[in-house]
Amino acid sequence: MLVTAYGDPAEAELSIDGEKIAVTAAAPEGHPFDTLYSGWLYREPETRALEEDSFENPGMFGVEQGAELWSVVEGSAGKSCESCHANPEEDMKGVGASYPKWDADSKRPINIELQIDKCREENMGAEPYKFDAPQQKALTAFIKHQSLGMPVKLDLSEGEMQKWWDQGKEMYYTRTGQLNLSCSNCHEDHSGNMIRADHLSQGQVNGFPTYRLKQSALVSVHNRFRGCIRDTRAEFPKAFSDDLMALETYVTWRGSGLSVETPAVRQ
């Protein structure tokens, strides 16, 4: 199996800023795999080393930008994120490990990006960010980084989360596009095989926003989803659409037990 190409996964250790990162985990009940492997295990030693060293990890520039944005006052209410969450290291701890969550107001799951926009509109009187705005990615990375090393765990008992999980699962296994491919065809049927110049992982999202070396930028979950869908030559979905929120719910669950790695580094 590919994950042994750079050593035994059972012996691989990832530690960032003193936080031990679980790069393997027992799969939750009903998962197609017995053991979950972080995408970090599929990377070459040089890429692994970038993520291990927070001084070298280029994704940390986004985290630092998010830290600066935290205290920036915007909107008619004259508030910043800091106005409500003065100690983000504590206030945001665990948040990145538990989203998407059920939002009773919109009656759908929302991810961290949408929660940021909701807070901006309702609490700050500010405009929501456009999808993939640098500020949106930076704040999301900053928030998720506060949960570094914590295991991913979704609460599917909230609201109608289970229904959305079911919808996301259906999407994951549905072939689409001119190439007639599904998410599972790559990340389940061919996990560990080469695609172009990279290896196919199990498709975990516990490191997003992820710094992708080929793009020299932080990449959000929905950006990656849409990139895969584009590559199958299927209809390009709107970011934060119901379909993509359902898919994020299901795919996040598929990484249950793995540590939050944000910002992970990938090719």
Q: Which of 81, 84, 183, 228 is catalytic?
A: 228
Contact 24/38 with Cβ under 8 angstroms? yes
* Rounded Cα gap, residues 115 and 201, in angstroms: 28
Amino acid at 114: L
The question of whether 228 is a catalytic residue gets the answer yes
Amino acid at 17: D
DSSP letters for 203-236: ---TT-SEEETTTTEEE-HHHHHHHHHHHTT---
Cα 5 from chain centroid (whole Å):
25
Which residues, 6 or more positions from 221, have their beta carbon under 8 angstroms from its beta carbon? 111, 205, 208, 209, 248, 251
Q: Is 254 in a helix, a strand, or coil?
A: helix
Q: What are phi and psi of 47, to 5 degrees?
A: -70, -40
Contact 67/142 with Cβ under 8 angstroms? yes
Q: List residues with catalytic annotation.
A: 228
